[in-house]
Amino acid sequence: MRVTLSDPLALIPGFERAHREQSALWPAAEPRWQPVHTVYVPADRFGAGTVAEWGRTALELLDRHLPGPGRLAEVFGVPEETAAELRPRIAAKLAAEPVEDLRVDFEDGYGVRPGEEDGDTVRAAAAVAALHAAGALPRRWGLRVKSFADGDPGRSVRTLDGFLTGIMEQAGRLPEGFVVTFPKVLVEDHLHRFADCLGALEEGLGLASGTLRFELQVEAAPTLWFLRPGLAVSLGGRLAAAHFGVFDYTANCALPPHEQRLDHPACDHARHVMQTAFAGTGVELSDGSLAASPASGEDRDVHALWAHHARLVRHSLRRGFYQGWDMHPSHLVSRYAAVYDFHLRHRAEYARRVRAWQEQRGPEGGVMDEPATVKTMSAALRRAELALERPPGR
């Protein structure tokens, strides 16, 4: 082929450097396993039996209030054939792995307890070590420390230090899956100082560099101003996820109590900013929670809660937030019902369309798929596979 320019790369000085920067900012990795939820348990109420207790309670609620697929179909608005597949899946999950991600809460759910936090930290560390020894520690686990914004970072770091030190003394090592949640970040500098603290703890505990990672909680409008793709790189790869805090965020936006809800447009805006900042960076995204439990033990109240919670979970899933917080055992039923239905609903269709593209056949079902859509469907199929798989080793 005849060309006019003899050396086109000479016209693009610095290309290699720019390409390396691009690869660092957007590694474009394939979807990996991500928990569908984070269960938050106040530190003073957490023990070695908490995970099993949540599973038993949720399974009892399922058996009592959804005795068959017909009731499940009615409550969650799915076809009966779908309900017939969902119910045994949910029951098996609650029996084998009710909690995928556990966070022992030393912040809002715990409160300020100057004379008690050290003791609760020691007890929480012992409970985690016991769960690990029994092979019952969730795949993802950790704690939420107090915010630096509260003006007492020493308390925050002391609890983290005592928690990690206690676990490693009793378990002999740091079990896999650890992450710490860093709440109410109002200035970017606190992220870098917290990352420095994690580095110091790694050195003191003899952990490899980069072992300790953390989640940023987006709980106020000012936080959105410093979210950007380069943030994760600037923190040395320690930023594992960004979690949305619905109640603090909506309060910061001066919304009235009855509008402090996950599907408020203000929350949608915050989620869009989080997606824009972290798309393609490898930083996971998680939505917030529903602060409600069944008003009574009657079918109508339990069903109403499940229907409402499932609607909010679907709202998050449709917007690309595949994880959320669960605050009560009853939430596990509606969480898994909504998540499994979401991943099962389009799985066969996506598989057909991807195969049609790969085999270079005509439009599948009249849909002319773009390469980006095919890539998205392949990613959705991988997420479905990971969400629906049986837990490893269980």
Same domain, 204 and 305: yes
Q: Encode pLDDT of 51-68 as tens digits.
A: 999 999 999 999 999 999
Per-residue pLDDT for 148 more than 70?
yes
Q: According to the model, what pLDDT value does residue 175 have?
A: 98
Same domain, 297 and 337: yes
- The CA-to-CA distance between both ends of the chain, in Å, stands at 59
For 374-385, give the DSSP string: HHHHHHHHHHHH
Please say which residue of 324, 345, 366 terminates a domain.
345
Q: Encode pLDDT of 281-294 as tens digits.
A: 999 999 999 999 99
Q: According to the model, what pLDDT value does residue 391 have?
A: 66
Same domain, 352 and 338: no
Q: Is residue 12 part of a domain?
A: no
Q: What is the mean pLDDT of residues 341-363?
A: 87
Q: Is residue 341 part of a domain?
A: yes
Q: Is residue 221 part of a domain?
A: yes
CA pair distance 115, 139, nearest whole angstrom: 32
Whether residue 269 contacts residue 223, with contact meaning beta carbons closer than 8 Å, is answered with no
Q: Encode pLDDT of 4-38 as tens digits.
A: 988 888 888 888 899 888 888 888 778 899 999 99
Same domain, 214 and 359: no
Same domain, 156 and 115: yes
CA pair distance 145, 180, nearest whole angstrom: 7
Q: According to the model, what pLDDT value does residue 393 have?
A: 54
**Eight-state DSSP code of residue 222:** G
Query: Above pLDDT 90, what percent of the chain?
Result: 85
Whether residue 40 contacts residue 99, with contact meaning beta carbons closer than 8 Å, is answered with no
Same domain, 244 and 350: no
Q: What is the mean pLDDT of residues 248-272?
A: 96
Q: What is the mean pLDDT of residues 215-230?
A: 96
Q: According to the model, what pLDDT value does residue 365 have?
A: 61
Same domain, 291 and 393: no
CATH code assigned at 70: 3.20.20.360
CA pair distance 354, 369, nearest whole angstrom: 9
Query: Which tokens belong to 1?
Result: 């082929």
Rg, C-alpha atoms of the chain:
23
Per-residue pLDDT for 164 more than 80?
yes
pTM exceeding the 0.85 threshold for the entire prediction: yes
Q: According to the model, what pLDDT value does residue 328 have?
A: 97
Q: According to the model, what pLDDT value does residue 192 have?
A: 97
- Pick the range with the lowest mean pLDDT from 176-180, 274-278, 353-357, 383-387: 353-357
Q: Is residue 126 part of a domain?
A: yes
Whether residue 182 contacts residue 145, with contact meaning beta carbons closer than 8 Å, is answered with yes
Q: According to the model, what pLDDT value does residue 389 have?
A: 86
User: Could you list the residue range(s) of the whole structural domain that residue 259 is in?
Assistant: 30-345
Question: Is beta strand 239-244 parallel, antiparallel or unpaired with respect to 214-218?
Answer: parallel
Q: Is residue 364 part of a domain?
A: yes
Same domain, 335 and 383: no
Same domain, 298 and 188: yes
Q: What is the mean pLDDT of residues 241-260?
A: 96
Q: According to the model, what pLDDT value does residue 12 have?
A: 87
Q: According to the model, what pLDDT value does residue 302 have?
A: 97
Q: Encode pLDDT of 38-52 as tens digits.
A: 999 999 999 999 999
Per DSSP (E only), the strands in 219-374 are 239-244, 284-286, 324-326
pLDDT-based confidence at residue 79 (cuts at 50, 70, 90): very high
Same domain, 134 and 283: yes
Q: Is residue 99 part of a domain?
A: yes
Is 295 exposed, middle or buried (CB count within 10 Å of its CB: 0-12, 13-18, 19+)?
A: exposed
Q: According to the model, what pLDDT value does residue 364 have?
A: 59
Q: Is residue 166 part of a domain?
A: yes
Q: Is residue 144 part of a domain?
A: yes
Same domain, 109 and 155: yes
Whether residue 313 contacts residue 335, with contact meaning beta carbons closer than 8 Å, is answered with yes
Please say which residue of 330, 345, 360 terminates a domain.
345
Same domain, 283 and 356: no
Number of domains the chain contains: 2
